[in-house]
Structure 1
Amino acid sequence: MSDQTEQTRDEAKQAEAVSTEPRKRGPLFSEADRANLRWFWSRYLRHRAKWLVVILLMILVQGLVYQQFLSMTENGLRVIFESGAVRDLVVVCVVVFGLFVLRGLMSFLVPIVAIRVSNAAVHDMRSDMIDHLMSLDLAYFERTRSGQILQRLVAQTQAIGGFVGIQLANAVRDLVTVVIVSGYLIWKNPILFGTAVVVLPFIIWVMNYVSDRVKDTQGQAEQARGDYMNGIEETVSGMRTVKIASQEEVESGRLKAGTRHLRDLSAKLQRTQALVMPSIDLSSAFVYVLVIGGGGYMVLSPQFDVDGAGIITFLLGMVMVFDPARLLAQFFGQLQSQLVILDRIRGIYDETPSIHDAPGAVSEFDTAGDIELKNIRFSYSPDQPLFRGLDMTFEGGKMSAIVGATGSGKTTILSLLSRLYDVQGGQITIGGKPIRDLKVRALRESFSVVAQDIVIFNNSIWENIRYVKPEASEEEVWRAAEAAEIADLIRARGGAEVGPKGAQLSGGQKQRIAIARAFLRDAPILLLDEATSALDQATEERIKSALDRLTKGKTTIVVAHRLSSVAEADRIFVLEAGALVEDGRHEELLARDGLYARLYQAQKKGYDGR
């Protein structure tokens, strides 16, 4: 899509968002709606145009069947009222039956083909969304609630698919029926038809009135639904805390409040849409009165060449027009809801990754070289800077440790090294090569990470270890498991799943899976972020030799809260509020009697007091 179209769409959305004046009734399709529809057509439907043509041709056959039915009905009525020939009546009945068999066949084939097209479009849309989500920066997922992502990827794409498939095909069928039958009625009696369409402006007004309010309410409903799904996800994932704190009633009340809010919005939406059908029904009644009165006058008056068969057929034709017209009006009300959903889906593509391969980026670099942070500036928010010119050097092939109070920036440094975030000033180099000049994939493949935030999938322990290296052999996985002291647990559990997010495992077992992953990946640079924080001292001692083997010959950066675990590091960096206040070996830092010494003595006193 062109930049101009994107700009128009963005401006239209911003204008709606910032307006504080009472909303005025807008057009049926806003500029943003048209841009979204063009995007959906060009991306998911245009290359399936041949199937859409097939659907349209079958729908045209359905419309022509109705027109021929009216013609045969008029002929049949004249046979009854005038000629009285049974043979002619039989012929009319056989032809009418054949016409409806043909329409029935088309009614069977149209949804089959339409569903095939819509399912393919939904599949492609979800695939594109998954690819796009995977390309987004970590920052997007940290500021976006998982319920909103789930809603867009699952519920909203399915809603669009169902609408495009069956509902849109039915709407086109209804439109074709209205056009073909109306054309036939105009040809038969233009005066009577012109009298009947006097209510058309009123129907258009009702559609605009309803669509404007549906769009507002649907937007609120989609936001509320996302909040509701996120609330459920938070409650389920935090059920351990809920149970321990005996907060079942609080969580139940919170979710029930969300349920009531959704109910009220759904009721409001349905009440608004419900205005369409009675309005159309009253309009239809008015039209039928006009047709019966005006048609009856034409039959009785010698000035018009109209008979009873013609008027009955005309009334039947008006029924065939107004019934699909009612459905069309309902469709346009539902269309406004789908336009809101489409805008929500399209909104994901407004998010663009800022971390990507620079032009000319390379894959080869000295992974054993020093890692240097030069005059680094970074903040998560503009009003709260974290690093204001940080300088650090992690020597290649040695173990460096980063310690400090919570919030001092320890884990952030690891995120900057692996380009989960980009620095906002300064430069990070590995072996003298700026990491911005390296391909992101090559950079990240040079790291093995054992983090405090461990992602465990609902699979076996074996498969959770192999996740970081799917092509690994059984021997490699077993070797990593033995090194991380988790092989016995694998033998005990076999292929049993570990539950959502590893719910059936202890914190220590999860961390040993993470350590086993690091052994299996065997990357040249090792990042340990509170790698043993969930291990008791006995278990930590058991795997200490394994960690020593893991770190041997590798550039290792350890983030630790327990200072005793980094006492043997070649160099320790002490951070406070994003600033480097001390660095050196363990003994040197204790001798200086600075921040590190105070933290160490406080921890030692805490352990001795137990």
Structure 2
Amino acid sequence: MTQKKTEIRIPLFSAQDRDNLRWLWSKYLKKKAPWLLVVMLMVLVQGLVYQQFLSLTESGLRVIFDAGAINDLIQVCAVVFFLFAVRGLMAYLVPRITIRISNQAVFEMRRDLVSHMMSLDLAYFERTKSGEIMQRLVGQTQSLGAFVGQSTANAVRDAVTVVIVSGYLIYKNPILFTTAVVVLPFIIWVMNYVAWRVKKGQIEAEKAIGNYMNGIEETVNGMRTVKISNQEPMEESRLLEGTRSIRDLQMRVQTTQALVMPTIDLSSAFVYVLVIGGGGYMVLNPNFDVDGAAIITFLLGMVMVFDPARLLAQYFGALNGQMVLLDRIRSLYQETPTIADAPAAVTDFDTSGDIVLSGVTFAYSPEQPLFDGLDMTFKGGQVSAIVGATGSGKTTILSLLSRLYDVKGGHITIGGTPIDKLKVNKLRSSFSVVAQDIVIFNNSIWENIRYVNPDATEAEVWQAAENAEIADFIRQRGDAPVGPKGAQLSGGQKQRIAIARAFLRDAPILLLDEATSALDQATEARIKSALDRLTKGKTTIIVAHRLSSVSDSDSIFVLESGKLVEQGKHDRLLKENGLYAQLYKAQKKGYDER
């Protein structure tokens, strides 16, 4: 016995859809209400032109059929031409205004999305695909803007035309019009079915497009690995599978939408047959005060009703798909930052004081706790180093200090002030950071250095470049862009840009996260004096894998699996012959064997 698969129906216009529409209106369209009112008046004029055209057409036909004066016919034709000239002017002005309104709404929406996105925590970007973010900011906002603008204006025009012309036809012949609309329930049923199928398909298509965009980004960013490992066929196959999925989903949506036009065409044909048959009977029957001119005008009016009705049906068929886009865009606002300024946050604190971690508890996920009651003290004005195996929590400590994440328990203080009581921007402006994941923009090296301090003078930028041993390379390249994500630079050149940024920012607390990991020993030796100048008089925390680079530190903290297992100076830790000594000897042996 087979079980019948049941589909869960998605509401055509759910409470969420209505709430999203209210949000769109109040946030981006309500302030443009005066211009929307102007558009509505222009649309009303377009509808009235059709009604007057029908009236004049009937009068013109009677002039012809009743052998009226030629002057009367010329007058009717002149008025008709004038009316359509007015409609043509309205047809030009309406899209001009609506395009301006929609483009401004798209601009404001993207501006607000970018602003809100910048306020979100780092955790959001680490769990969200970048392709999904780009899809919202670029494709979905543009599609929604075009739909809300010109498509909606056209739909309103079509709806007004249907109402006005239908009202006129009812006035002229209510019996014939009632006969003509018998197919309306069937059309409504078809549109209801189409709208549901389109909404369902659009949800799946948007997910597929997001995954596809993310796949493209991953392939482009990892092209070096793809080429080296000779995996072009695999990547081609992976992207082709995504393309195929999008094609199939779009075909489903568009095939469903294709039902609309033939349905309305067949319904129109049925209506025209009823009008011709019923109208012809009325003309032939002396009990009805109907002539040939009235029937021809009525048929022309039905054409004017069904043509915009077809376009209106298409609009409602696509509307549910746009509701999906609107919900996706608005869902970004449901992401709220957890790291924010406390109600009584302060800006003044002792940046030269000790940095203390007291009973710190932290986990990226509840299933994998990292720190449980961690205590550490980094002395103000001194150089401290954090070492340990990969995954021991070294870089996480720097993230907690700068509040990229908040501790789950315990607290962190700088100069005695808890960092969660400080303004976030003030806290972060007190750090200069040289990270292992260096962000390089497709601009000149000069502009990449100046990124951290746009107001820096030319002399200050050059001095920072000289200190980081990259000034000569800048002179060689000039203003040439460095490629997407610095593709034309070596790892060492990228790290020297990061070091130059730290010199230029000149903040009182310096965080070095594997600052020299991509430098060979000769280059590291050349900039060691520069790093010494950079750290002089500053509270410096170094995260390092190469232990020889931290041997001169005032204090070294050794982490293992999120626990502080050793602490002290280099010589003392070697004498204790613990984990640090083992790591140091293993590295030294590795260097000696090279």
Which TM-score bucket, shorter chain as reference?
A: over 0.9
Alignment match, 2:278? 294
DSSP 3-state at the match of 1:557: strand
Normalized against structure 2, the TM-score is what?
0.99
CA distance in 1 between counterparts of 2:449 and 2:263 reads 63
Instruction: Please say if residues 132 and 213 of structure 2, whose CA atoms lie closer than 8 Å, have aligned partners that are also in contact.
Output: yes
Deviation of residue 418 (structure 1)?
0.1
CA distance in 2 between counterparts of 1:458 and 1:415 reads 26
Alignment match, 2:420? 436
DSSP 3-state at the match of 1:353: coil
Deviation of residue 489 (structure 1)?
0.6
The yes-or-no answer on 1:173 pairing with 2:135 is no
CA distance in 1 between counterparts of 2:284 and 2:560 reads 100
The yes-or-no answer on 1:85 pairing with 2:69 is yes
Instruction: Please say if residues 27 and 208 of structure 1, whose CA atoms lie closer than 8 Å, have aligned partners that are also in contact.
Output: no
Instruction: Please say if residues 10 and 200 of structure 2, whose CA atoms lie closer than 8 Å, have aligned partners that are also in contact.
Output: no
Instruction: Please say if residues 378 and 423 of structure 1, whose CA atoms lie closer than 8 Å, have aligned partners that are also in contact.
Output: yes
Deviation of residue 204 (structure 1)?
1.1
Alignment match, 1:231? 215
Give the counterpart of 2:558 among 563, 574, 581.
574
DSSP 3-state at the match of 1:182: helix
Alignment match, 2:22? 38
The yes-or-no answer on 1:103 pairing with 2:103 is no
Paired amino acid for 2:538:
K
Instruction: Please say if residues 25 and 209 of structure 1, whose CA atoms lie closer than 8 Å, have aligned partners that are also in contact.
Output: no
Alignment match, 2:322? 338
CA distance in 2 between counterparts of 1:431 and 1:33 reads 51
Deviation of residue 23 (structure 1)?
3.5
Deviation of residue 84 (structure 1)?
3.0
Q: How does 1:473-552 map to 2 (within 5 A)?
A: 473-552=457-536
Alignment match, 1:17? none
CA distance in 1 between counterparts of 2:279 and 2:400 reads 81
Paired amino acid for 1:315:
L
Deviations 1:440-490 (A, max 9, x none): 000000000001000000011000000000000001101100000000011
Q: Which runs of 5+ in 1 are unaligned?
A: 1-19
Q: How does 1:376-395 map to 2 (within 5 A)?
A: 376-395=360-379
Q: How does 1:324-335 map to 2 (within 5 A)?
A: 324-335=308-319
Paired amino acid for 1:248:
E
Alignment match, 1:464? 448
Q: How does 1:136-151 map to 2 (within 5 A)?
A: 136-151=120-135
Deviations 1:482-515 (A, max 9, x none): 0000000111111111111001111000000000
Deviations 1:318-367 (A, max 9, x none): 00001111111110111111111111101100100000100110111000
DSSP 3-state at the match of 1:574: strand
Alignment match, 1:4? none
CA distance in 2 between counterparts of 1:389 and 1:561 reads 24
Deviation of residue 83 (structure 1)?
3.2
CA distance in 2 between counterparts of 1:561 and 1:459 reads 30
CA distance in 2 between counterparts of 1:382 and 1:319 reads 66
Deviations 1:139-182 (A, max 9, x none): 00111111001110001100011111111111000000000000
CA distance in 1 between counterparts of 2:12 and 2:442 reads 46
DSSP 3-state at the match of 2:154: helix
Paired amino acid for 1:543:
I
Q: How does 1:34-73 map to 2 (within 5 A)?
A: 34-73=18-57
Deviation of residue 285 (structure 1)?
1.1
Pick which of 536-545 and 193-202 moved more.
Answer: 193-202
Deviation of residue 282 (structure 1)?
1.2
Deviation of residue 22 (structure 1)?
3.3
- The CA RMSD over aligned residues, in Å, is 1.0
CA distance in 1 between counterparts of 2:88 and 2:270 reads 31
Deviation of residue 27 (structure 1)?
4.4
Normalized against structure 1, the TM-score is what?
0.96
Alignment match, 2:572? 588
Paired amino acid for 1:229:
M
Deviation of residue 30 (structure 1)?
0.8
Deviation of residue 69 (structure 1)?
0.3
Q: CA 1:104 to 1:234, structure 2 compared with 1: closer, same or farther past 3 Å?
A: same
Q: CA 1:342 to 1:482, structure 2 compared with 1: closer, same or farther past 3 Å?
A: same
Instruction: Please say if residues 159 and 312 of structure 2, whose CA atoms lie closer than 8 Å, have aligned partners that are also in contact.
Output: yes
Q: How does 1:245-260 map to 2 (within 5 A)?
A: 245-260=229-244
**Matched-pair identity in %:** 75
Paired amino acid for 1:549:
R
CA distance in 2 between counterparts of 1:284 and 1:391 reads 80
Alignment match, 1:351? 335
Deviation of residue 24 (structure 1)?
4.5
CA distance in 2 between counterparts of 1:382 and 1:300 reads 85
